[in-house]
């Protein structure tokens, strides 16, 4: 039926009111011209998560502070020259883990950190005393401080707690070293705290350090393995310069895997030259 004829028939009264409605609905384009609903396309994919590296604060204990190896503040300054870096890590954290941790987070929040690196921040909550109740309270306090920083808007990169059995007795009493089962319970608490939270990345410090405690080998490059103990300072507790580099290099790889929207050049940790 041509459009012109349809309208003539309507005008001449040769169609019923139903045809009038059909003609109005169909118009001059035939049946296919019924009003169409807009087609909704597939929603755009969610953007890949990004670690904000504009302002990075380092909190933690002696490894972060550089006792035995490169201070994290120096390493991050070299690795991220376009970022503002502040390190408040303290070699004396072991003396007052609860109070010192609070002061460090106060400073990180005052710095307006967008990311807080806390790889050994919780270590002395477990190792400074062997009283189970105190350990539980200290760990809860440490996690509470990290939560306070997260609530202020910062991303939290928190390390779980490694099993250290190689440290000199002068620095770490054997009585304060938890057994593997006890340590696993505390690390489960850390994992439970982080589960489902935005802006939290748990760094598997414990599993990375396992070969050191077991006197095993660690692959530090494709096809390149060295004894785990070669990554430690002479005191058996702290990472040396190579150990610090490997720890932070693995952190960078973890960020790229878990937060793939982060530019690959946001953090570039250079391997130290071999000692001569």
- Number of domains into which the chain is organized: 2
Q: What is the C-alpha end-to-end distance of the chain, expressed in Å?
A: 94
Band the pLDDT of 274: cuts 50, 70, 90: confident
The rounded distance, in Å, linking the Cα atoms of 177 and 95 is 16
Same domain for 9 and 122, yes or no, is no
Q: What is the pLDDT of residue 216?
A: 86
Same-domain pairing of 14 and 60? no
Alpha-carbon distance of 153 to 200, in angstroms, equals 11
Domain that holds residue 29: 3-33
Same domain, 219 and 112: yes
Same domain? For 17 and 123 the reply is no
Q: Do 253 and 151 fall into the same domain?
A: yes
Share of the chain above pLDDT 90, in %: 73
> What is the percentage of the chain residues whose pLDDT exceeds 70?
84
**Residue 44: its pLDDT value, please?**
75
Strands in 84-216 per DSSP E: 84-87, 115-118, 155-159, 200-203
Which tokens is 21 given? 């409605």
- 195-254 tens-digit pLDDT: 999 999 999 999 999 988 788 899 988 989 999 899 999 999 999 999 999 999 999 999
Q: Which of 266, 265, 259 is nearest to 46 (CA)?
A: 259
Better pLDDT: 216 or 28: 216
8 Å CB contact between 73 and 89 = yes
Instruction: Clarify whether residues 60 and 17 are in a common domain.
Output: no
Phi then psi for residue 195, to 5 deg, are -60, 130
pLDDT tens for 49-83 read 999 999 999 999 999 999 999 999 999 999 999 99
pTM above 0.85, yes or no: no
Q: How far apart are CA 236 and CA 27, in angstroms?
A: 87
């Amino acid at each position: 039926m041509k459009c012109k004829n349809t309208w003539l028939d309507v005008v001449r009264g040769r169609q019923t009111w139903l045809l009038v409605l059909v003609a109005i609905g169909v118009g001059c384009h035939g049946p296919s011209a019924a009003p169409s609903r807009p087609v909704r396309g597939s929603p755009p994919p969610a953007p890949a998560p990004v670690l904000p590296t504009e302002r990075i604060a380092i909190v933690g204990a002696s490894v972060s502070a550089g006792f035995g190896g490169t201070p994290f503040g120096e390493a991050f300054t070299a690795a991220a020259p376009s970022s503002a870096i502040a390190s408040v890590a303290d070699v004396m954290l072991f003396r007052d883990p609860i109070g010192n941790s609070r002061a460090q987070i106060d400073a990180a929040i005052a710095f307006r950190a967008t990311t807080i690196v806390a790889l050994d921040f919780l270590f002395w909550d477990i190792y400074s005393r062997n009283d189970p109740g105190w350990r539980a309270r200290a760990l809860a306090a440490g996690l509470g401080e990290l939560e306070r920083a997260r609530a202020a808007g910062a991303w939290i990169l928190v390390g779980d707690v490694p099993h250290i059995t190689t440290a000199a007795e002068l620095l770490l009493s054997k009585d304060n070293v938890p057994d593997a089962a006890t340590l696993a319970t505390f690390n489960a608490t850390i994992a439970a705290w982080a589960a489902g939270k935005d802006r939290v990345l748990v760094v598997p410090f414990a599993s990375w350090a396992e070969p050191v405690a077991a006197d095993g080998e660690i692959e530090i490059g494709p096809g390149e393995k060295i004894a785990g103990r070669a990554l430690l300072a002479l005191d058996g507790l702290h990472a040396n310069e190579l150990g610090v580099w490997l720890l932070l290099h693995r952190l960078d790889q973890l960020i790229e895997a878990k937060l793939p929207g982060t530019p690959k050049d946001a953090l570039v940790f250079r391997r130290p030259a071999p000692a001569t």
